[in-house]
Amino acid sequence: MITLKEALNLPKEELAELKKDIAAKAEAKKELNAYIAMDESGEGVPIAIKDNIQVDGWEVTCASKILQGYVAPYDATVITKLRAAGLAPYGRTNMDEFAMGSTTESSYYGKTLNPHDPNRVPGGSSGGSAAAVAAGIAIAALGSDTGGSIRQPAAFCGIVGMKPTYGRVSRYGLAAYGSSLDQIGPMTQNVEDAAILYNIIAGFDPKDSTSAQKEHTPITPDPDRKLTIGIVPNYIKDASAAVQKAYDKAIAALKAAGHEIVEVELMDAKYDIAAYYITAMAEASTNLSRYDGVRYGRRVEAGGLKDMYRATRSEGFGEEVKRRILLGTFVLSSGYYDAYYIKAQRARHVIKEEYAKVFEKVDLILSPVAPDVAYEFGAMKTPLEMYLSDVYTIGVNLAGLPAISLPVDEHNGLPVGLQFIGKAFDEQTVFDGASSLERAVKG
């Protein structure tokens, strides 16, 4: 597949042929179920869009039954920026319903398959975006990352996935799951393309109250810059042999490239998991209350207003979404708010401070993305197992930091990805480290 950098230099006629070629390939690989729908009408370089980002005139459903029939009346800010830069939204990619999941199995449209092994998950919730790029049926894609939903599917599918600092990319037009956690980011074939797409979508947006009023300086990755990189031995011991091998390989490659490696320690990730899921579910409970059958999408007719609410939400939401709404409502309820939600916010503050102390010593942290390579469908027997699999990614969202996942090795034909975590608003260093490691492992 042609890279984003190459596609941006194509004349209009060749772009039209490229779109036709992608459509034909997507049709030939439709069993992957990466796309929900495609649209060749836009002018510019085609970019796949996760189904929770508003595109004017598109049906945008967050892969949920409850939003069937909803048509977006406006463009998200990231879409406006894509169009201004000569790119065009090209197709809606599959995802876990309302971005709640790590496998893309909870989608109303059915599961997406991993292009490297159709018996394995592509990751989630941005699994459709990751699978489309990995399968060569998208030049690049946009995803959203609430607790690893860009980085984990990128790692499972063997592509690059980047989560910007919270507030660096506008959330206007992104269907909210966890408002203090969500970020839109690029999913691409390589680090350079990720930087190009990031530069296009980053920057302050007055329409978004969570947007950071900081000037965005365009990023040009510098693979020759020498950095101090922190490694986390107490984290890696819980990862699989395949991930540990990839970690050791990456460390050796970084040393050979002239980077300084420093051991650091982060506290037990069980606190990250507890703080994250309490926070995310509480925010989901609030954000999803708007989907009631009155204002958006699907409505189930019933005898009265309360019965209509109950019937619409019971039929429209999937099991995982219902579970998270119920748990979120519980932790926000009278008598439990202080016991759970407030404590989670205190823990979140401690986590953020811990990262700040580590970054006094190092420029970047090298970490696993997931405990293992992509697992088989049905391997997670309980929701708790799925939640625990986010152990390496959720701390980044709690602290609002930038991070990038890239493939560094493979195990039995499956990609193994690692991530660099950086200081808030220091995306330049994140891309510098990633480009250096990418070059080192590719030889």
179 is annotated as an active-site residue: no
CA 117, 120, 124, 128 torsion-angle sign: positive
DSSP secondary structure string for all residues of 388-424 = HTTTTTHHHHHHT--EEEEEEEEETTEEEEEEEE--T
How deeply is 329 buried, as exposed, middle or buried, from its count of CB atoms within 10 A (0-12, 13-18, 19+)? middle
Q: Which amino acid, one-letter code, is at 119?
A: N
Tokens (6 digits) for 246: 């990839």
Active site residue 249: no
How buried is 243 (Cβ within 10 angstroms: 0-12 exposed, 13-18 middle, 19+ buried)? buried
Which of the residues 50, 81, 111, 423 is marked catalytic?
50
Cβ within 8 Å of residue 419, ≥6 positions away: 151, 155, 366, 367, 368, 369, 392, 393, 396, 403, 404, 405, 406
Examine the residue annotation and report whether 149 is marked as an active-site residue of this protein.
yes
**Nearest to residue 143, comparing CAs of 69, 71, 63, 211?**
63
CA–CA distance from 123 to each of 3, 114, 152, 286, 379 (Å)?
A: 23, 8, 6, 26, 12
CA trace torsion 2, 419, 398, 77 (10° rounding): -10
Judge whether 142 and 185 are in contact, CB under 8 Å: yes
For 42, the token pair is 């836009």
Catalytic residue among 64, 149, 211, 435: 149
- Distances from the Cα of 246 to the Cαs of 86, 190, 232, 427, in angstroms? 37, 18, 14, 24
Edge-to-edge, what's the strand order for the sheet holding 403-411?
A: 35-38, 87-93, 45-50, 141-145, 183-188, 160-163, 403-411, 414-421, 364-368, 228-231, 260-263
CA distances from residue 233 to 117, 141, 368, 389 in whole angstroms, order as listed: 30, 33, 11, 18
Residues 261, 352, 211, 213, Cα dihedral to 10°: -70
Which of 125, 129, 211, 436 does the annotation list as catalytic? 125
Alpha helices in 29-139 (DSSP H): 77-84, 127-134
Catalytic residues: 50, 125, 149
